[in-house]
Chain A
């Protein structure tokens, strides 16, 4: 039995079957990511002032990944065009570039961007204790500028209260930190030139010691509010936060806040789409390319359909990038 219009278009619709199929599938994908992004909007609009973080993601890396995806979107079209012109070797080359771009994107996400977040720690301070940490939060200054308050102290955890799930991370970071001090020859107490104190561990058993992010180290620096392209350097300053003053503390993982919840959910699902696309491309580049011998037009159609999916994945990233990295 032969299904009609598998390769050639039906005259009255002008489409072959799988091209219609992928457009329908993409329509449902639009609704899926539409649902996810509406979650983003809902959560962000509902966030209390100060509870939606800014500037935590690495913009240069994200920009590079954006460029990588756009390049791959171009090369996948080139691969399709090469097939249409029956230039098999060129097809192989362009497809390979596309695959490599996809792998670079995933590699950067999984080996750099995600682990960097998992290392990071943030403690939301209870509302009635905010004034105790004014030196790290700068809320008086922010209030005078009519800006949202700062309610979180974030950075790398160097010590955690006894029995907290973060003890192991803190210990590892503290070791790493000592090592770094030794290598760079920075004496304790000098920090990064701002006269900050470096304190690796405290005697008390219920303190968080956090090596501060720049925004907490210099809370009244106007540069905190300006968008910055390059990520700011980690400071050598630490803060001691009493566990009793903490409303909620966690590594930068989904449970940290709705921001990271939606960040990991959307980028994770997007990453799965990239992975799916890459696997399909690898098939079309490798064993699937034998179809060229029998029916080059059919292979071209397949690449076109997979390419449409790839463009969609690219397009989703075009929304993800500003929403999470820039805004």
Chain B
């Protein structure tokens, strides 16, 4: 940001695109690039690979749940032959440690290394500067630092699978005192062990998201093109703005907690270690006096806003896709913007609803269940507005639109099943059952991940200049929609019968105990769910083929293949470094579709409305 600073760039109208005709080398152009689009694609590829890895971990676990103790076909041999990981897979069957390891890393990878990087960092990096008419992010070099810090965290997390003892096994929530003592026994390195590396990786991951979120907020505030006032911003930009604020403010307390736990493990302090902690019938070496509950407070102070970090970019993508494919403005734009502000604020005061079981007291629980119920109001506003946007539209069922339409009921199921959980009394029964797993997976899997797919299909032509294959896209969509419900819907049935999320044998052994007898009639669903999961994996193959095949062989497209109105479609496909090859000015709101009296059914933000404001009818004019 410093090199050519003498040249005053303070004018609102600036021209660019003609002072960087020199070619950058391969490394600067594709690897250590400061271009927001390249960084976005780097985040997308890394994040999608992690989604696949996280999914693979889950497939191994689902095999174990359906066929406890049986060797995993084909992949079991590969797992057993890997260094360190193989120890947890004797003869290719999953051990309890292996289940814990894969479970903890599935959660961590999906949330922090898959969905947030793709939904926020990748789609946001790619689309936000384009949508507001900016040449790049405000701090391009910090943007690059963000990706490479993230990359280091990825290396640490992946590396932790191969240190003695294997990766973290204490759940993605890393609750102490378990997480404080795990991986510290004989045979483990004092620093290079799963849980300590998990903490180190998380600190890097948090730093990366901090750098990214500062950049997003500063870009949206500072680099909006002339005429792009706040209420003319596409809804996707709004969701990214709010998401960035959540990340900026919610992640640091987890960083603090991560540092505390790191101190506990490496320097033997007692932030989270209670007095008189006994492990294996021996008093531990910690001085005690700490509080395990403190971790839970700090963790969930992040991890609840994190839920909205996961879903808000998804809702933003869906709003873009819905407006574009219904050929009409989204319903209640202003209310939706208000709703995400309310959502962001409330998301900071609901965290302890994850902690009803800790015995923190009925009064505290009453407060948090009230705020939790309150937060359902803006969520329902958002989903209702999206649904109403469909009303009266002439819907084009393109692939992104298929994913967007499926998103709504899926997110609806996920959201509505969350309402009972908000109540302390109900949650005490459902806590840690498959009902919870079903609930939040409906939000993030057929919710956010479908939105991610919608976004990828929607912006792919902008990123590559080519369209993805429609037929493969439809196969991908229908197969994914059916199988993903096959995985998650039975979880509600199992959960209500009391199947616990941590039974690594699928519940079979626990049935001997009287308490668990209720779960018996629903355990047969395990086979069905695991088969669905496997089929869901197969359903991703058309997408993977499509993704790579279309880079070279997709149908070539121009600037605006979707006939969309927002600014990114004014740039060439793919956009050059610096984005726009013409002066960008914004004249009206983001979703001016089917404007009565206009020549075509979409009016880009950069084009003045052809009919003058005075003669433009307010409501659809009768034909005459």
Binding site for B on A (CB under 8 A): 1-11, 13, 15, 17-18, 20-21, 24-25, 27-29, 31-36, 38-39, 42-43, 46-48, 51, 124, 248, 250, 253-258, 260-262, 264-265, 269, 291, 294-295, 298
Contact = CB atoms under 8 A, between A and B. Distances in A.
A32 B286 contact: no
Contacts of A250: 287
Contact of B252 (A4, A21, A32): A32
Given A27-B248, A39-B298, A6 B5 contact: yes
13 contacts: A1-B19, A5-B222, A10-B222, A20-B217, A21-B214, A32-B252, A32-B255, A34-B252, A35-B255, A35-B301, A42-B293, A42-B294, A261-B269
A6 B253 contact: no
Interface string B1-15: 110111111111010
B180 interface: no
Contacts of B616: none
Contacts of A47: 289
Nearest to B262: A265
Interface of B: 1-2, 4-12, 14, 16-17, 19-20, 135-136, 138-140, 142, 210, 213-215, 217-218, 221-223, 248-257, 259-260, 263-264, 267-271, 275, 285-291, 293-294, 297-298, 301, 577-578
B399 to A, nearest CB: 33
A42 B248 contact: no
Given A38-B298, A42-B291, A20 B253 contact: no
Contacts of A298: 2, 5-6
Nearest to A253: B267
Most chain A C-beta atoms within 10 Å of own C-beta, residue among B16, B218, B250: B218
B226 to A, nearest CB: 10
Contact of B270 (A9, A257, A294): A257
Contact of B222 (A4, A31, A48, A51): A4
Contacts of B222: 4-5, 10, 13, 15, 17, 20
A114 to B, nearest CB: 13
B23 to A, nearest CB: 14
B16 A43 contact: no
Contacts of A255: 267-270, 285-287
A5 B251 CA distance: 28
B5 A294 contact: yes
A256 B286 CA distance: 9
Contact of B136 (A1, A11, A42): A1
A17 B267 contact: no
A269 B1 contact: no
Contacts of A31: 248-253
- Which A-B residue pairs are the 4 nearest by beta carbons? A8-B10, A35-B256, A261-B269, A35-B253
Contacts of A28: 210, 213-214, 248-249, 251-252
Contacts, number: 191
Given A3-B1, A7-B10, A255-B285, 11 more contacts: A4-B14, A9-B10, A27-B248, A33-B256, A35-B254, A36-B256, A39-B294, A255-B268, A258-B287, A261-B260, A298-B2
Contacts of B270: 255, 257-258, 261
Contacts of A33: 256
B21 to A, nearest CB: 11
A6 B215 CA distance: 13
Nearest to A37: B256
A124 B275 CA distance: 12
A20 B221 contact: yes
B190 to A, nearest CB: 13
Given A13-B222, A295-B5, A43 B140 contact: no
A1 B17 contact: yes
A21 B267 contact: no
B261 to A, nearest CB: 11
A29 B252 contact: yes
A165 B539 CA distance: 59
B267 A11 contact: no
Contacts of B213: 24, 28
B290 to A, nearest CB: 6
B218 to A, nearest CB: 5
Nearest to A256: B287
Contact of B4 (A2, A11, A124, A265): A2
A35 B253 CA distance: 5
B20 A1 contact: yes
Contact of A248 (B2, B256, B288): B288
A47 B275 CA distance: 10
A250 B291 CA distance: 20
B290 A3 contact: no
A39 B218 contact: no
A5 B275 contact: no
B256 A32 contact: yes
Contacts of B2: 6, 291, 298
A34 B248 CA distance: 13
A43 B291 CA distance: 7
A254 B267 contact: yes
A5 B9 contact: yes
Contacts of B16: 1-2
Contact of A13 (B14, B221, B298): B221
Nearest to A298: B5
A254 B266 CA distance: 10
A24 B267 CA distance: 32
A188 B314 CA distance: 77
A51 B257 CA distance: 22
Contacts of B214: 21, 24-25, 28
